[in-house]
């Protein structure tokens, strides 16, 4: 298998071009700074593309903005200004969920769970997407470590930075080998500093593990969900 | 066919006459109230927050007076005071209605002339209780923490906080109105009021639990009518069959003063709705919606029709539950259950026109009210 399933690809494409007006890639939004509590998951960086589009539409109704007709760049600006977007684990959550469903496996909320704490488990039961972060995905109970050379689509790269707590994850969409070097087509939601305020978001990049190590400081591991590994 | 006795026909005629009197008095009050509202500029301001303004077909309600409900409240209070002042049956419904009307009036007036009020979150209060340079201020912040938490909890159920009365204040005052009704029903009326009539079953005695139940019912119903008052003619048009049903049931169960009170309210509502249909000459405002919701609940409780309220106030309860469900969906699961709450905005966003939404709500409500009358007679 060289690619993600069509269902998962569809989710990725919707994040890359939101189903709203002229479309634009979904911006990056991490709730760590805003600390919105008890909000809609689309407003805390964990929503599906349709949910993000719906919330954007609701804002446009309240503010009387003809969001369906504005240019893609303006649409993206509108989304960023209203804190609408997706973070890396939220994006991975929905893409991998679609992949699990396509392969007839259990849904992701049952496959990737917090490993301890009664309160955490209750919170995860009610709001699974919001309570599944990079560390949850990367826990040994939810995923297994794999060798870079054995990577297949729907595996993911986890970067844990214990120093600054800025974790990240990328979903592997395709794998190829060129001149003996593994190249990974990854999809992820990211805010590089060079992107500025309005250039962040979901993107597709072809990277080697050396590129990743350069771009993302931290402990980089290639992992596979346990439910896929079994 | 036995038909009605001449005395019964006279009673029905008497009640309908009061309904017509309510209509005429409210009609006479309308220009006066409108002139006052225009004079004091009690209208929606330009740029006032309205989350529904961008929906297709919606026009700005700026400069539309917002305390039109006063017409109904004043008509009902005046007619009852002069012609139907009955210590046992009409004092408390009118008292409860007026308390709610005063609360609603403050909300309406402050939402027009008031300044934006500052609200401190629990987190901010905790920080201030820890770091404020003045020890007394720190103690004050620590002591006021439960009140701040209550404010935060109440505001999660309320709409956007503006310049009017805030949700936690509304809840407390509605609690007071409900408590008065409960006290009156439990202590001032006979023992039968401690029982609830369950259709097809009979009476159910729940003892003193009736007191919190009455408070909850009054608060919930008042808010339900308040929530439903979001489109031109919607709440007014649905309240008419509700009060006619209450009038009918009161007459059948032998509560003549309450039958008259309900007839007057229905008559006044006819005038109100005539001027409130799209494009509205005025809006009900909280002064009307909270007052009429309170009156509806108390009148139903007094004729022992608490179990019938879900039928005769059907669409109001549906609207209120749509808000509760939306809040549960948002806070509990992070999902939007309806496109917008209350329910009438959901259908508007689905593409129904305002007129279609209102008329369908009227028709559904009327059908369920009829069902409620049938259930009440069993």
Full DSSP string of B114-174 = PPPPP---HHHHHHHHHH-SSHHHHHHHHHTHHHHHHHHHHHHHS----SS--HHHHHHHH
Q: In the predicted model, is pLDDT for residue A217 greater than 90?
A: no
pLDDT of residue B156: 67
Check residue A224 and give its pLDDT.
94
If phi > 0 it is left, if psi is from -120 to 50 it is alpha, else beta; for residue A23 that is left
Q: Which stretches of chain B drop beneath a pLDDT of 50?
A: none
Residue B187 pLDDT: 79
Using alpha carbons, select from B125, B103, B71, B273 the residue that is nearest to residue B172. Answer: B103
The pLDDT, as a whole number, for residue B291 is 94
Instruction: Indicate the pLDDT class of residue A143, thresholds 50, 70 and 90.
Output: very high
| Residue B59 or A64, more confident | A64
Q: Is residue B307 part of a domain?
A: yes
The pLDDT assigned to B41 comes to: 85
Residue A195 has pLDDT above 90, yes or no: no
Q: What is the largest CA-CA distance in chain B?
A: 85
Contacts of residue A66 in chain B, CB cutoff 8 Å?
A: none
Q: What pLDDT sits at residue B300?
A: 92
Binary contact (A39, B51; C-beta < 8 A): no
Mean of per-residue pLDDT scores for chain A: 90
| Structural domain for B266, as ranges | 6-117+161-376
Q: Residue B129 falls within a domain, yes or no? A: no
pLDDT tens across B173-189, in order? 888 878 887 887 787 77
Q: What's the confidence (pLDDT) of residue A155?
A: 94
Within a domain: residue B134? no
Strands A156-160 and A168-178: antiparallel
* Residue A74, pLDDT score: 92
In a domain, B30, yes or no: yes
CB nearest to B335's CB, from A40, A58, A60: A40
Cβ of A129 under 8 Å from any chain B Cβ?
yes
Q: Which stretches of chain B are assigned E, i.e. beta strand?
A: 195-198, 202-205
A35 CB within 8 Å of a chain B CB = no
Contacts of B346 in chain A (CB under 8 A): none
Cβ <8 Å between A61 and B349: yes
Query: Among partner residues B52, B156, B335, which is closest to A41 by beta-carbon distance?
Result: B335
Report CA B181 to chain centroid distance, whole Å.
15
Tell me the pLDDT tens digit for each residue of A145-187.
Answer: 999 889 999 999 999 987 777 889 999 999 988 888 889 999 9
Mutation site for B-interface testing, chosen from A39, A61, A125 by largest number of B Cβ within 10 Å: A61
Q: Is the pLDDT of residue A49 over 90?
A: yes
Structure token pair of residue B51: 């989350």
**Token pair belonging to B219:** 């608060």
From the list A177, A142, A174, the residue with the least C-alpha distance to A158 is: A142
Query: Is residue B371, in this structure, part of any structural domain at all?
Result: yes
- Look up the pTM and report it: 0.86
pLDDT at A1 over 60: no
Q: Measured between alpha carbons, how far is residue B203 from residues A67, A199, B307, B317, B372 in Å?
A: 57, 68, 11, 24, 17
Predicted ipTM?
Answer: 0.82
Q: Element (H or E) spanning A185, and its range?
A: strand A181-190
The nearest CA of chain A is from the CA of B146 a distance in Å of 19
| Contact (Cβ atoms closer than 8 angstroms) between residue B222 and residue B174 | yes
Would you call B330 and A65 a contact, using CB atoms and an 8 Å cutoff?
no
Residue of A nearest to B50 (CA): A62
Nearest chain B alpha carbon to A127: B333
Q: What is the pLDDT of residues B191-248, one digit of tens each?
A: 656 778 888 888 888 888 888 998 999 999 999 999 999 888 999 999 999 999 999 9
Overall number of domains in chain B:
1
């Amino acid at each position: 298998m060289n690619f993600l399933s069509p269902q998962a690809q569809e989710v990725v494409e919707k994040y890359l071009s939101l189903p709203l007006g002229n479309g634009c890639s979904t911006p990056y939004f991490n709730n760590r700074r805003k600390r919105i509590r008890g909000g809609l998951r689309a407003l805390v960086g964990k929503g599906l593309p349709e949910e993000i589009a719906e919330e954007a539409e609701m804002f446009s109704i309240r503010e009387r903005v003809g969001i369906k007709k504005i240019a893609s760049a303006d649409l993206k600006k509108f989304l960023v200004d209203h804190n609408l977007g997706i973070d890396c684990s939220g994006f991975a959550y929905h893409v991998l969920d679609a992949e699990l469903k396509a392969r007839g496996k259990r849904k992701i909320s049952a496959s990737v769970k917090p490993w301890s704490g009664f309160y955490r488990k209750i919170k995860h039961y009610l709001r699974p997407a919001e309570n599944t972060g990079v560390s949850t995905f990367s826990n040994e109970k939810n995923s297994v470590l794999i060798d870079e050379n054995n990577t297949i689509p729907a595996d993911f790269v986890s970067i844990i930075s214990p120093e600054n707590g800025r974790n990240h994850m990328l979903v592997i969409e395709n794998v190829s080998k060129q001149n003996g070097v593994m190249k990974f087509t990854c999809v992820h939601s990211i805010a590089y500093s060079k992107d500025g305020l309005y250039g962040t978001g979901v993107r597709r990049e072809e990277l080697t593990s050396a590129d990743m190590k350069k771009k993302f400081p931290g402990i980089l591991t290639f992992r596979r969900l346990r439910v896929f590994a079994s | 066919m036995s038909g009605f006795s001449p005395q019964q026909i006279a009673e029905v005629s008497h009640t309908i006459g009061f309904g017509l009197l309510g209509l005429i008095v409210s009609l006479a009050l309308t220009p006066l109230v409108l002139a006052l509202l225009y004079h004091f500029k009690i209208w929606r301001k330009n740029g006032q927050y309205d989350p529904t303004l961008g929906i297709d077909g919606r026009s700005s309600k700026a400069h539309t007076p917002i305390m039109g409900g006063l017409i109904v409240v004043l008509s009902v209070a005046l007619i009852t005071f002069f012609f139907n002042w009955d210590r046992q049956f009409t004092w408390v419904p009118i008292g409860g209605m007026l308390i709610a009307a005063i609360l609603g009036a403050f909300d309406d007036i402050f939402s027009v002339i008031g300044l934006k009020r500052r609200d401190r979150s629990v987190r901010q209060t905790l920080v201030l209780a820890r770091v404020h340079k003045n020890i007394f201020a720190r103690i004050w912040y620590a002591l006021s923490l439960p009140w701040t938490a209550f404010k935060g909890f109440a505001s999660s159920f309320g709409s956007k906080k503006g310049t009017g009365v805030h949700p936690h204040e509304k809840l407390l005052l509605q609690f007071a109105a409900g408590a008065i009704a409960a006290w009156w029903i439990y202590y001032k009326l006979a023992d039968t009021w401690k029982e609830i009539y369950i259709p097809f079953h009979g009476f159910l005695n729940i003892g003193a639990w009736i007191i919190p139940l009455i408070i909850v019912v009054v608060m919930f119903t008042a808010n339900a009518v308040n929530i439903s008052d979001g489109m031109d003619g919607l709440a007014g048009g649905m309240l008419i069959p509700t009060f006619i049903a209450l009038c009918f049931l009161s007459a059948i169960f032998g509560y003549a003063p309450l039958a008259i009170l309900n007839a007057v309210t229905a008559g006044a509502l006819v005038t109100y709705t005539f001027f409130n249909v799209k494009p509205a000459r005025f809006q009900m405002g909280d002064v009307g919606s909270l007052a009429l919701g309170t009156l509806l609940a108390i009148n139903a409780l007094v004729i022992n029709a608490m179990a019938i309220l879900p039928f005769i106030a059907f669409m109001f309860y549906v609207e209120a539950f749509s808000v509760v469900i939306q809040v549960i969906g948002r806070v509990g699961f992070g999902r939007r259950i309806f496109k917008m709450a209350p329910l009438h905005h959901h259908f508007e966003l689905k593409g129904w026109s305002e007129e279609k939404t209102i008329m369908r709500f009227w028709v559904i409500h009327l059908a369920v009210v009829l069902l409620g009358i049938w259930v009440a007679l069993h």
